[in-house]
Copies of this chain bind each other. A is one copy, B any other.
Amino acid sequence: MTKPLKLNPDRLFPADSKERDIARNLYKSVADLPIISPHGHTDPSWFADDEAFPNPAQLLITPDHYVFRMLYSQGIALSKLGVPTIDGSPTETDGRTIWRLLAENYHLFRGTPSRTWLDWVFAEVFKLDVMLDTETSDLYYDVMAEKLNSPEFRPRALYKKFNIELLSTTEGALDDLRHHKKISESGWDGRVITTYRPDSVIDPEFEGFLDNVEAFGKLTNEDTTDWAGYLNAHRSRREYFRNVGGATASDHGFETATTANLSPQDAEALFNRVIKGNCSAQDAELFRGQMLTEMARMSLDDGMTMQIHAGSCRNHNQSVFQQFGRDKGADIPVQTEYTRALKPLLDAVGNEPSLTVILFTLDEDNYSRELATMAGHYPALKLGPPWWFHDSPEGMRRFREKTTETAGFYNTVGFNDDTRAFLSIPARHDVARRMDCGWLAKLVADHRLDETEAAEIAKDLTYNLPKKAYKL
């Protein structure tokens, strides 16, 4: 027997009726605000080329590591889910077959944000009104496949339908930004900007680092075997990302939050060791740390906001990495230290009110201990929203509970969806708005805030703070 699929208008609001009423009112005031998405991983070619998305499985399962990691955890091979192999050995290609695996195992997602996001996509984007299960699998596939072929489901049409005001993608330092160029030359009025993500030319342990740095030199006409030239290459690419891709921010993702603030001579000597190849693990760590400080200094000069995403142990599953490569749901968080790690960068630029460095963590223990306490003091620091696995109702609740009292609301920067899953973007922002309104409603019900203040904050969190933090 099929079950109805209906999104309750009160979903995720507090259970208490007083709080729920307040939350409902607050939500009403922000529900229709445009989406600001200042950090994410959608593919800019979608908006450049505006072609139809492929079949439902290739759109919603194969590229979404939240979805396939859960299926994999229960013994379903990645190859059966169509995840492409590195050596090109064949994996399942039939979308309907792959889709059925999700349908049969949809109960695994009970209680997870993936379920919330997917149900929203099914109900709101595809207007499906029965729940996904074994019985409805084909119905789902047919309805979605058909709609995906219609003009209303092209990327640009969805961008408009989703009421997106700005969408940022993320590109590596060597990217030529051809898709962003194409978008801006097309005259389309959507705003899809890039973010400068130079990990591959900063991290000596990144695959192909030396080749990357060489290409980096060619691209910028700088001698990147020389410290000054290497730094100039960054300046040059940052400018290119701003001018051609509309970038307003850089992003940096390393396993630790280590920073360094060496003297110019020591920094140059370190670079000279690194650029010879085969530097020690210690030197690699120090170089990443020094470069975070260099990037912060460039941000002071060129006004770009800086994001630091620390704490993920990438490619933890050796065999999955060898067969399927990066980003296959096998990045596992590790404990992360910030207080001592960030001190060198903060000694250098932490007191600059014109600089914005946004911190992200996968280690929630740091919210109240290290991150809120630093963001509540240093003018240059702001707290990014709950990241990755914590981008969920309970994760968002913990974030506000543990950061608000020490950092306040105004040292946070609103929501990031951080996703490749374009169709789920409105669902993710909707969850964030609901959870923020629920938290504000609690503060109002507790008489810690009055309702007009709460409404002002709700709008700030949804719209004003991200625009300010990312200079949009």
Q: Interface residues, chain A, CB within 8 Å of chain B?
A: 3, 7-8, 10-16, 18-19, 69-70, 72-75, 107-113, 115-116, 313, 316-320, 329-330, 332-335, 337, 339-340, 343, 346-347, 350-351, 353, 362-365, 368-370, 372-379, 381, 389-390, 392-395, 401-402, 404-411, 442-443, 445-450, 452-453, 456-457
Neighbouring B residues of A407 by C-beta, 8 Å: 73
Neighbouring B residues of A446 by C-beta, 8 Å: 11-13, 15, 393
- Would you call B408 and A449 a contact (CB within 8 A)? no
Neighbouring B residues of A343 by C-beta, 8 Å: 316
CB proximity of A406 to chain B, nearest CB, Å: 5
- Give bound CA distance, A409 to B320, whole Å: 24
Residue of B nearest to A373 (CB): B332
- Would you call A111 and B408 a contact (CB within 8 A)? yes
* Residue from A110, A334, A376 having most chain B Cβ neighbours under 10 A: A110
- Would you call A448 and B393 a contact (CB within 8 A)? yes
Closest 6 CB pairs of A and B: A75-B353, A11-B447, A8-B447, A111-B404, A392-B405, A15-B16
Residue of B108, B332, B347 near A408 (CB, 8 A) is B108
- Would you call B379 and A74 a contact (CB within 8 A)? yes
- Would you call B364 and A369 a contact (CB within 8 A)? yes
Residue of B nearest to A364 (CB): B368
CB proximity of A346 to chain B, nearest CB, Å: 7
If A73-B411, A317-B350, A393-B405 are given as contacts, then 7 extra A-B residue pairs at C-beta distance below 8 Å, sorted by A number, are A3-B450, A11-B448, A12-B447, A70-B376, A111-B449, A316-B343, A334-B370
Neighbouring B residues of A449 by C-beta, 8 Å: 110-111
- Would you call B393 and A442 a contact (CB within 8 A)? no
CB proximity of A248 to chain B, nearest CB, Å: 19
- Would you call B363 and A389 a contact (CB within 8 A)? no
- Would you call A333 and B73 a contact (CB within 8 A)? no
CB proximity of A102 to chain B, nearest CB, Å: 14
Neighbouring B residues of A75 by C-beta, 8 Å: 353, 379
Residue of B nearest to A400 (CB): B111
- Give bound CA distance, A447 to B115, whole Å: 12
- Give bound CA distance, A110 to B319, whole Å: 49
CB proximity of A362 to chain B, nearest CB, Å: 6
CB proximity of A314 to chain B, nearest CB, Å: 11
A73-B370 in contact given A347-B318, A351-B317 (Cβ < 8 Å)? no
* Residue from A113, A377, A392, A410 having most chain B Cβ neighbours under 10 A: A377
Neighbouring B residues of A72 by C-beta, 8 Å: 377, 379
CB proximity of A211 to chain B, nearest CB, Å: 28
- Give bound CA distance, A392 to B448, whole Å: 12
Residue of B nearest to A401 (CB): B394
- Give bound CA distance, A411 to B108, whole Å: 9
- Would you call B110 and A453 a contact (CB within 8 A)? yes
